Structure 1
Amino acid sequence: MGKPGQPKKVLLFIATLFKEQDAYYKAIEILEDKFGQILVESSPKLWNYSDYYTPELGSPIKRRFIFFKNLISEADIAKIKIQTNQIEEELSKHGKRTINLDPGYIGLAKLVLATTKDYSHRIYLSNGIYAEVTLIFKNNSFMPNINTYRDYAEEEYIKLFNLARTIYKDLLLGKN
C-alpha cells in the first residue's frame, strides 16, 4: 500500500494573452509582487489559434510565458489561479479583460495548467478550479497529449518548456 506524500515543489509559470503591451507590463508588476522574481520571459508571439478571446481582448493577440524563480507547492496552483483571475479583473476595462492569465507549473514529469473549465481530461482541485496535465516528459522532452492546446504543442514552446524544466532541475539541486 502506498502512503500519502507531501506535494512537490514545482516551477510556477503564467501564460499570458493580450493585445496591449501596457496591460502586459501592468500585469508583470502585480505578478512579481505576488510571486517573486521572474526567471525567464518568452518573446511575444502572435496568437491566432481561435477567435475565442478576440471580443474581449481585441486583436491581434500576443502570447508570452513568464517563469518565476520561487518554487511553489503543487497544492498551491488552485489558489494561484484564483489570484490570477482577480488580477485579470483588476486590469479589466469597461467589463472586459485586457489580459488573460493562465497559471501552471512544471515538474520533472509533467506540465500542468490550472483552469476554471471542466472537461473530460481535467481533475477538480478546489474552489471551482481544475487541473490538466498538458504535456508529459518522456524520452528527454515534453510531449503533447491528445487534448493539448495547439500552441503548447509547437516545437518553439516545447523547447521553451524543456529549457524551463532544466532550470527547474538546477533550482531543485541548488545550482541557481
Structure 2
Amino acid sequence: FLTSFLTMKDIDNAVKRLASSQVKLFVGMLSGDAALFEQIAGILTNIFGPSDIESPVWSWEHTTYYQEEIGADLKRKFIFFEKLINPGDIAEIKLKTIELEKQHLNESGGRKINLDPGYLDTAKLVLVTTKNFSHRIYLNNGIYGEVTLIYSGRKYRSLPYTFPDYKTDEYLEVFNKARDIYKEQTSNK
C-alpha cells in the first residue's frame, strides 16, 4: 500500500536517515584487576556483538572515588562494538551493564569492575549514569545521559563538566579513531 505513494528515492532516503540515526556503542571498563577486562569483554561481545576497536589498558589515577569499592591501582580500558545501535537503547544497555557488575562482586559485596556504556556519533560522545546532576537529562528507568565531548574543529573537545580522564590525549585519540570507523560504517549505508 505505502509503496504506491513512495518512490525508490524516498525509500533510499529513509534508509539513509535510519542509518545516520544509529550510533557507535562503547563500554568503558574500570577495575583493579586488569585480567577481568578480557572476561568482561567476552561477555559484552556475546551481548552486543563483535568489537571493532579496543583501547590499550591504561593506569587510572584521576580520583579516589572508586578505590574503596573497587580497589587501588585501577586500570581503564574501552571496547567499541561493530554493530551500531539506536541511541534510544542506551538506558537499557546501562541497566544490562549494572546487572553484569552485580555478577562480579568482591568479598565485601563491592563491585570488582565499573562498566560505563556510552555512544558516539559524528557530533558528540554521550555517557550514561544513574547519578542525576545539573547537566544531565533523564532518559528512562533511573538512567541519565550527558554529552561528555563535542566534535568541533576536527576533534573531540571537552566541556566544563567532562571527567578529567576523558580529556586526555590517549582517550581522545581512541575516540577519534572510533569516530572514523563510525563514519565509514555510516557512509556505506
TM range, normalised to the smaller chain? Answer: over 0.9
Query: Who is 1:119 aligned against?
Result: 133
Deviates more, 1:73-82 or 1:153-162: 153-162
- Long gaps (5+) in structure 2: 1-16
Q: Does 1:102 align with 2:116?
A: yes
User: What CA distance in whole angstroms lies between the structure 2 residues aligned with 1:18 and 1:174?
Assistant: 36
Residues 23 and 91 in structure 1, CA contact (< 8 A), matched pair in contact too: no
Q: Does 1:173 align with 2:187?
A: yes
Residues 57 and 96 in structure 1, CA contact (< 8 A), matched pair in contact too: yes
Q: Deviations over 1:4-42 (max 9, x none)?
A: x97920000001101113322221121011000011111
Q: Does 1:139 align with 2:149?
A: no
- Matched letter for residue 9 of structure 1: Q
User: What CA distance in whole angstroms lies between the structure 2 residues aligned with 1:29 and 1:141?
Assistant: 30
Query: Who is 2:60 aligned against?
Result: 47
Q: Deviations over 1:92-122 (max 9, x none)?
A: 1231111100000001100000100000000
Query: Who is 1:150 aligned against?
Result: 164
Structure with higher Rg: it is 2
Q: Does 1:81 align with 2:102?
A: no
User: What CA distance in whole angstroms lies between the structure 2 residues aligned with 1:21 and 1:156?
Assistant: 18
Residues 14 and 65 in structure 1, CA contact (< 8 A), matched pair in contact too: yes
Give the CA deviation at 1:124.
0.2
SS at 2:174 equivalent: helix
SS at 2:133 equivalent: coil
Residues 113 and 132 in structure 1, CA contact (< 8 A), matched pair in contact too: yes
Count of residues in correspondence between the two structures = 171
- Matched letter for residue 48 of structure 1: E
Give the CA deviation at 1:153.
0.6
What is the aligned-residue RMSD (CA, Å)?
Answer: 1.5
Give the CA deviation at 1:65.
0.7
Q: TM-score, normalised by structure 1?
A: 0.93
User: What CA distance in whole angstroms lies between the structure 1 residues aligned with 2:25 and 2:118?
Assistant: 6
SS at 1:152 equivalent: helix
- Matched letter for residue 34 of structure 1: I
User: What CA distance in whole angstroms lies between the structure 2 residues aligned with 1:146 and 1:118?
Assistant: 16
- Aligned residues: percent identity? 44
- Long gaps (5+) in structure 1: none
Moved over 2 A (4+): none
Residues 28 and 77 in structure 2, CA contact (< 8 A), matched pair in contact too: yes
Find 2:71's aligned residue among 36, 50, 58. 58
Q: Does 1:163 align with 2:177?
A: yes
- Matched letter for residue 171 of structure 1: Q
User: What CA distance in whole angstroms lies between the structure 1 residues aligned with 2:49 and 2:29?
Assistant: 17
The structure with the greater share of residues assigned to helix is 2
- The aligned runs of 1:12-31 (5 Å cut-off) are 12-31=25-44
Query: Who is 2:3 aligned against?
Result: none
